[in-house]
């Protein structure tokens, strides 16, 4: 046997093995380099390219006159890069920054899970002393650095904490619920406009791509930075708010409990929103000291509670116009109908009192002088159904749809409601007598009241209230107007005349209950109310609009535990109207607290 003949099976076997190897390897190459190329290409990019996020500047807030009211200021944030940090230095760093070691440890552990080469934020808004201590010890603390971030700053006197809201660090839940948006340590709007418009305000993170080697060491910018994306600033909000009116209204409510909300009757824009007592937003610099939180949360005055949209009280006499509108429009009475008020109304075996005998009272006088007997009788003539129907039309019993997150719907009782609560046939018409003058179960928010009086002012156009008028898109520079939603309550001209005339006389004519809301040179129209309070002093209401013919401002003032609306609430409303329409207070003498007899006359 010498060599192998050319066609031997042995040679064929060897050739077959080599050809098979070639075919299999080419097939595998095609599979890896063509079919899975995208997948492996992505993996190779992930291997060597890391992205570093850069936080955008949060959007600014401007008032209706273009005044900057929510601004950003630089603040220093301490960061740790886990891959470089020496764990034994943790106690030293904790002392320096007055933090818990366990807190720092937890942050590092969490950050490592994300990317141990990316800096994680340990403490925000450090003081100058802390910053200089850090700088001095820089060499002993490898991996510790600081970033310049922005924090909210409020340059004007308008504080409006409930309206603006505060920001806080994003929660784990939010990170998972909105994928690809937040990383641990990011800040996010928590309440008010900051929360409602978070999507606009936060902007878009910038990304810087860097190249690292297999050990994760930085080698430099990837592709000369050509793939980097600068951060997109957050969008700016232009509010309907008037910063000067806001700060003025806030000052009027100092040391009071209650709310002021002013609305532009032309479009439903919120001119001012005050809730007192309130809190200082500058204490909420994304990390809120525990003691501040505790104090705010346990304060029995509930400073965190937004009274303007959340509190719910009976509207008192301010609600009388609802019944008046229902009765007149439905033709239950003709405009000349009147009652003879003896100061008391006997229904069954129960006597319902009025403040004073009003004698003969027609529609206009009933509003002007707030005659209860008139409405007791009118309610029984008009019926529960119509009252509920017109109350609903004016927006009671349901949320207004304002663009801040927290809002109470209030409560507007109906026959179905009483049937449900008390049982069918277990309640009497006597229940209606209280409702007719806005007492009893009926509950409204100051915001609902402001919308209601704005609708009375503009004769039937109910605009959904809104704080933000326009949004400036920072990436395109375009300004987007927020749409105005309007529904119409159509009442005949004569009905509008009678109701509005009554409100005008309440402020401007002798015998009116709201004389304290009068503003020199301007026809103010309004109505006082006093919410009976079984737990303490009554709450004072005033709603009004001005100027009478073409109203530019509609306002609701609520002062808790302050007695009559004409005494406690109406003077505040008058000053606000004057401030807004003239730009300042022009009257020489400020209203003085009324004497006892004057107070008697202001009962409603």
Partner 1 sequence: MKTWLKEHIDFPILCIVCCLLAMGITSIFSATYDTGSQMYFQKQLTFMGVGFLLMILITVIPFRTLQLLSFPLYGLSILILVIVLMTGKVVAGSRSWFGIGGFGLQPSEIAKVTTILALASFLSQRNRSLHHLKDVIITFSIVLVPVGLILLQPDMGTAIIYIASFLLILYWAGASNLLLITLIAPGVAALASLFGTTAFVIVILLILLLLFMQRGNRLMAAMTFSFTVLVGASTTFIFDRLAPHQQKRILTFLNADADPLGAGYNVAQSKIAIGSGGLFGKGFLQGTQTQLNFLPAQWTDFIYCVPSEEFGFIGAFFILILLTALLLRGIYLSSIVKSRYASIIVIGIVSIFAVHTIINIGMSMGMLPVIGVPLPFLSYGGSNLITNMMMAGLLLHMYANRREY
Of 31 and 533, CB closest to partner 1: 31
Binding part of the chain for partner 1, among 54-62, 207-215, 419-427, 488-496 by CB under 8 A, reads 207-215
Q: How many CB atoms lie within 10 A of CB 401?
A: 13
Residue number, 207 or 210, with CB nearest to partner 1: 210
Residue 257 phi, psi (nearest 5): -110, 130
Spatial separation of the C-alpha atoms in residues 579 and 573, rounded to whole Å = 10
Which residues partner with 75 through β-bridges?
149
**48 contributes a contact to partner 1 by CB under 8 A:** yes
Dist CA 84 CA 144 (whole Å) = 8
The reply on whether position 292 binds partner 1 by CB under 8 A is no
Q: Which of 145, 147, 124 is nearest to 134 (CA)?
A: 145
Query: Half-sphere exposure of residue 82, counting CA atoms within 13 Å on the CB side?
Result: 17
Q: Do 499 and 325 contact (CB within 8 A), yes or no?
A: yes
For 378-397, letters b (16+ CB in 10 Å) and e give bbbebbbebbbebbebbbbb
**CA 240 to CA 163: how far, in whole Å?**
12
Among 25, 103, 293, 422, binds partner 1 (CB under 8 A): 25
Task: Please tell me whether residue 225 binds partner 1 under the rule CB under 8 A.
Answer: no
Whose Cβ is closer to partner 1: residue 1's or residue 596's?
A: 1
Q: How far is the CB of 29 from partner 1 (least distance, A)?
A: 5
Closest separation between CB of residue 104 and partner 1, Å?
28
Q: Which of 10, 226, 426, 535 touches partner 1 by CB under 8 A?
A: 10
Tokens describing residue 44: 């190779």
Q: In the structure encoding, which two tokens stand for residue 478, read together?
A: 């375009």
Segment 60-79, which members bind partner 1 (CB under 8 A)?
none
Does 297 bind partner 1 (CB under 8 A)? Our answer is no
- Ranges within 512-571 binding partner 1 (CB under 8 A): none
| Dist. CA 422–CA 580, nearest whole Å | 46
Interface segment toward partner 1; rule CB under 8 A; list 16-24, 438-446, 526-534, 548-556 = 16-24
37 lines the binding site for partner 1 (CB under 8 A): yes
Query: Which single residue is written with the structure tokens 């707030």?
Result: 370
Residue 426: partners with Cβ closer than 8 Å, 6 or more residues away: none
Asked whether position 381 contacts partner 1 by CB under 8 A, the answer is no
| Residue 475 binds to partner 1 (criterion: CB under 8 A) | no
Tokens of 489: 């309550």
Q: Please tell me whether residue 422 binds partner 1 under the rule CB under 8 A.
A: no
Question: Cβ of residue 111: shortest distance to partner 1, in angstroms?
Answer: 21
Q: In the bound complex, what is the minimum distance in angstroms from residue 8's beta carbon to partner 1? A: 7
Minimum CB distance to partner 1 smaller for 29 or for 131: 29
Nearer to partner 1, 47 or 537 (CB): 47
Q: Measure the CA–CA gap between 79 and 91, rounded to whole angstroms.
A: 15
Q: Any contact of residue 18 with partner 1 (CB under 8 A)?
A: yes
Q: Is 130 exposed, middle or buried (0-12, 13-18, 19+ CB in 10 A)?
A: middle
Closest CB to partner 1 among 115 and 232? 115
Distance of closest approach, residue 140 Cβ to partner 1, in angstroms: 31
Is residue 223 close enough to count as binding partner 1 by CB under 8 A?
no
Told to check if 148 binds partner 1 by CB under 8 A, we report no
The minimum distance between CB 195 and partner 1, in angstroms, equals 42
Q: Please report which residue ranges of 383-462 form alpha helices under DSSP H.
A: 384-393, 415-422, 430-436, 446-457
Does 14 contact partner 1 by CB under 8 A?
A: yes
Gap between the Cα atoms of 335 and 333, Å rounded: 6
d(CA 577, CA 592): 18
For position 227 contacting partner 1 by CB under 8 A, the verdict is no
Q: Is 21 in the site for partner 1 (CB under 8 A)?
A: yes
Q: DSSP letter at 549?
A: S
Mapped to the 3 state alphabet, what secondary structure does 313-345 carry?
A: ECCHHHHHHHHHHHHHHCCCCCCCCCEEECCEE
Binding flag, residue 32, partner 1 (CB under 8 A): yes
Interface stretch with partner 1, choices 211-219, 325-333, 442-450, 561-569 (CB under 8 A)? 211-219
Distance set, CA 543 to CA 116, 175, 307, 529 (Å): 59, 44, 16, 8
Any contact of residue 213 with partner 1 (CB under 8 A)?
yes
Q: Is 487 in the site for partner 1 (CB under 8 A)?
A: no
Contact residues toward partner 1 (CB under 8 A) are: 1-6, 8, 10-11, 13-15, 17-19, 21-22, 24-26, 28-30, 32-34, 36-37, 39-41, 43-45, 47-49, 211-214, 219
């Amino acid at each position: 046997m010498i060599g192998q003949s050319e066609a031997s099976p042995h040679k064929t076997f060897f050739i077959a093995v080599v050809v098979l190897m070639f075919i299999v390897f080419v097939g595998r190459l095609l599979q890896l380099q063509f079919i899975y190329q995208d997948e492996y290409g992505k993996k190779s990019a992930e291997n060597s390219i890391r992205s570093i996020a850069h936080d955008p500047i949060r959007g600014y807030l401007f008032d209706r006159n273009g005044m900057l009211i929510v601004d950003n200021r630089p603040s220093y944030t301490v960061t740790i890069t886990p891959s470089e940090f020496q764990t034994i230095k943790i106690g030293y760093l904790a002392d320096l920054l007055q933090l818990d070691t366990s807190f720092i440890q937890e942050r590092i552990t969490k950050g490592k899970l994300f990317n141990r080469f990316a800096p994680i934020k340990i403490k925000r808004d450090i003081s100058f002393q802390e910053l200089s201590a850090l700088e001095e010890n820089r060499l002993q603390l490898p991996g510790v650095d600081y970033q310049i971030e922005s924090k909210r700053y409020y340059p004007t006197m308008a504080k409006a904490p409930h309206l603006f809201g505060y920001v806080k660090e994003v929660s784990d839940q939010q990170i998972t619920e909105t994928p690809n948006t937040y990383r641990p340590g990011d800040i996010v709007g928590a309440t008010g406009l900051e929360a409602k418009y978070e999507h606009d305000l936060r902007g878009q993170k910038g990304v810087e791509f860097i190249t690292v080697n297999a050990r994760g060491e930085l080698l430099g910018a990837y592709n000369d930075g050509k793939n980097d994306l600068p951060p997109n600033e957050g969008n700016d909000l232009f509010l309907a708010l008037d910063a000067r009116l806001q700060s003025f209204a806030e000052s009027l409510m100092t040391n009071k409990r209650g709310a002021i909300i002013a609305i532009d009757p032309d479009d439903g824009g919120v001119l001012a929103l005050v809730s007192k007592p309130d809190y200082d937003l500058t204490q909420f610099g994304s990390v809120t000291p525990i003691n501040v939180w505790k104090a705010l949360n346990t304060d029995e005055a509930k400073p965190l509670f937004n009274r303007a949209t959340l509190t719910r009280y009976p509207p008192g006499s301010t609600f009388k116009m609802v019944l008046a509108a229902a009765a007149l429009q439905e033709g239950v009475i003709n405009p000349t109908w009147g009652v003879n008020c003896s100061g008391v109304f006997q229904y069954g075996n129960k006597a319902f009192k009025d403040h004073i005998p009003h004698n003969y009272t027609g529609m206009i006088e009933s509003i002007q002088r707030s005659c209860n007997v008139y409405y007791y009788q009118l309610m029984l003539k008009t019926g529960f159904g119509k009252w509920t129907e017109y109350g609903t039309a004016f927006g009671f019993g349901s949320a207004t749809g304002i663009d801040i997150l927290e809002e109470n719907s209030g409560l507007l009782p109906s026959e179905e409601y009483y049937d449900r609560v008390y049982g069918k046939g277990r309640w009497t018409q006597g229940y209606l007598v209280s409702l007719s003058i806005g007492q009893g179960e009926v509950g409204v928010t100051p915001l609902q009241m402001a919308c209601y009086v704005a609708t009375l002012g503009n004769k039937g156009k109910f605009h959904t209230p809104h704080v933000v008028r326009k949004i400036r898109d920072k990436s395109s520079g375009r300004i987007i107007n927020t749409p105005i939603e309007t529904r119409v309550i159509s009442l005949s001209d004569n009905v509008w005349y009678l109701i509005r005339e009554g409100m005008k006389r309440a402020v401007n004519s002798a015998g009116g209950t709201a004389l304290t809301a009068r503003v020199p040179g301007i026809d103010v129209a309004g109505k006082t109310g006093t919410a009976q309070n079984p737990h303490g002093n009554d709450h004072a209401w005033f709603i009004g609009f001005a100027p009478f013919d073409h109203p530019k401002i509609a306002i609701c003032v609520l002062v808790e535990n302050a007695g009559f609306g004409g005494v406690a609430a109406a003077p505040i409303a008058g000053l606000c109207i004057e401030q807004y329409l003239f730009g300042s207070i022009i009257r020489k003498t400020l209203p003085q607290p009324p004497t006892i007899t004057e107070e008697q006359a202001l009962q409603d």
